[in-house]
Amino acid sequence: MQLLNIHITLKTFPFIGLLLICCISIKANSQITQENNANKVLNLKTIKISVYTTVNHSNLKLSVADSLKLQEFKQPLETDASIDVDPSKEFQTFIGIGGAITDASAETFYKLSKNNQKKFLEAYYDQERGIGYSLARTSIHSCDFSSESYTYVAEGDKSLKTFSIEHDKKFRIPFIKKAIEAAGNKLILYVSPWSPPAFMKSNNSMLNGGKLLPEYFQSWANYYAKFIKSYEAEAIPIWGLTIQNEPLALQRWESCIYTAEEERDFLKNYLGPTLKNEGLADKKIIIWDHNRDLLFQRANVILNDPDASKYVWGTGFHWYEDWKDGIPMYDAVKYVREAYPDKNLIFTEGCNESYNLERIKNEDPKLAERYGKSMINDFNNGVVAWTDWNILLDETGGPNHVGNLCFAPVHSNSKTDELTFTNSYYYIGHFSKFIRPGAKRISSVSTSNSLLTTAFKNTDGSLAIVVMNTSDKNINYSVSLLSKSANLNALAHSIQTILISNK
């Protein structure tokens, strides 16, 4: 079989069908050293290039090709598909990619056999044997992906004297600890609330929206601090927090409504000062945590207020705005980056909704390509970190206490102990496995609407160039780099990572 105009060697990873890396050293002449002083680590006479590929409806899942030759640069024609990469043009610094460790994920994990628990952790968090997740999110008490609604205090306890995270010690805390260990103790964790306790809200319910009552502003701010300190007492470091998950969504599950002005004022008058007074000023505070459509409006209101903005690390967002017309609003991210270049952007949640097992069995390309399109566009628009929703769900798309069942990159069957790694898992892996914390995004520009691309330069000097073909046709294309070029072929509905590194 020919792939990328080169031969594919299939050698299977021990547990999830990933393929062993087989790289060919390629001699590059000394002209590379002279032409790109910005990449001194790579400016050697010998480098290696590996091309990893995942193809829909095939056994090629993060598969690697065994040779690729750089040639003298040839001017692409208007009729050619080409990608031009310039490592000297650097942009944002990359923090990490990961997924949410929810109650649902933790409960499902502990239904697996010990052997599959080990395989699962390696698959997500080990860079060599898996895809090297370096980021995680979890909830402050319950969310929809919990088996029940619960809080950490007794009803009506405004002073929080009864505060306890005992509930989380059964599944979620030990699961997070295992994930941290599997990631080499380098897993960044941030936290999000879905709702304050019912007694603090205008509708006296954790569900169905409602607002935080003014008399509980300080008590709720204290709640964040207690949660962070309680988790850190369990040896789980907390890197940051969002103020409220989806603050404009009136959901039938845990939810709470804040206008932009209400979120701004709660932050600057209560949450920001409280974290500072509690010795938690180093925690990264993320505003919005909702869809791209209103991203600019929310950032504009909060970040234009210096008393609020001083507490803000960055703005978080989700991808569900496409419910309006099926079209993601990627440019909204760019507009915030342009207006507030001193603040960060982080993708905080995305998943494919309305679980349907047949779509997994049939490898519906839309499931995985939603990830690829979002990640490429979001990174190109300035995002520094990207977080999937549940890292694991069961064979029903749950558990979920309100029946809001969804897809995850990995599903397990609680009856058969079977793990299913979907194409979404492999698509995410094309980024997380090869783009590592500390990397800088670099220019990577495509001349074809069907070929999407982004690229990063890692701290070791290696380059990771991601190319995704969203069309129904195979596409021949070239990649130009350092006055050299290479000819490749992207199969229909495929994603590739071209890794260029030292021998």
Q: Where in the chain is the domain with CATH 3.20.20.80?
A: 96-432
Per-residue CA distances from 157 to 142, 164, 199, 203, 220 (Å):
17, 12, 9, 17, 11
* Strand duo 475-481 + 284-291: pairing: unpaired
Half-sphere exposure of 477 (CA within 13 A, CB side): 25
For residue 318, name the pLDDT band (cuts at 50, 70, 90). very high
Residue-wise pLDDT tens digits, 348-394: 999 999 999 999 999 999 999 999 999 999 999 999 999 999 999 99
- Answer whether residue 40 shows pLDDT above 60: no
Shortest CA distance to 494 belongs to which of 81, 53, 131? 53
Q: Which residue has the higher pLDDT, 482 or 61?
A: 61
Nearest-angstrom CA–CA distance, 262 and 481:
49
Pairing of strands 240-242, 188-193: parallel
Output 48 or 268, whichever has higher pLDDT. Answer: 268
Model confidence at 23: pLDDT above 90: no
What is the pTM for the complete model shown?
A: 0.91
Catalytic residue among 122, 254, 263, 349: 349
Return d(Cα 160, Cα 176) in angstroms, integer.
Answer: 25
Taken as a whole, the chain contains a residue count of 503
What per-residue confidence (pLDDT) applies to 72? 85
What's the rounded Cα separation, in Å, for the pair 339 and 342?
Answer: 9
Closest alpha carbon to 482 in 37, 27, 26:
37
d(CA 125, CA 183): 5
- Give the H or E element holding residue 99: strand 96-100
Residue among 153, 171, 97 at smallest CA distance from 425: 97
- Indicate if the pLDDT at residue 18 is higher than 50: no
Say if CB 192 and CB 254 are below 8 A apart: no
CB neighbour list of residue 197: distance below 8 Å, 6 or more residues apart = 141, 151, 153, 155, 206
* Burial of 1 per CB tally in 10 Å (0-12, 13-18, 19+): exposed
Among the four given CATH numbers 1.20.1300.10, 3.20.20.80, 3.40.50.620, 1.20.1250.20, the one describing domain 96-432: 3.20.20.80
The single residue of 107, 122, 246, 263 carrying the catalytic annotation is 246
Q: Are 291 and 251 in contact (CB under 8 A)?
A: no
Q: DSSP letter at 248?
A: T
Average pLDDT over residues 473-500: 94
Q: What is the pLDDT of residue 73?
A: 86
358 is catalytic: no
Average of pLDDT values for 315-330? Answer: 96
Helices (H) and strands (E) in the chain, counts: 13, 23
Structure tokens at 248: 């404009």
Measured distance CA(10)–CA(20) in Å, rounded:
8
**246 part of the active site:** yes
Boundaries of CATH 2.60.40.1180 in the chain?
2-93+458-502
Query: Of the CATH numbers 1.10.1060.10, 3.30.390.10, 3.40.190.80, 2.60.40.1180, which one belongs to the domain with range 2-93+458-502?
Result: 2.60.40.1180
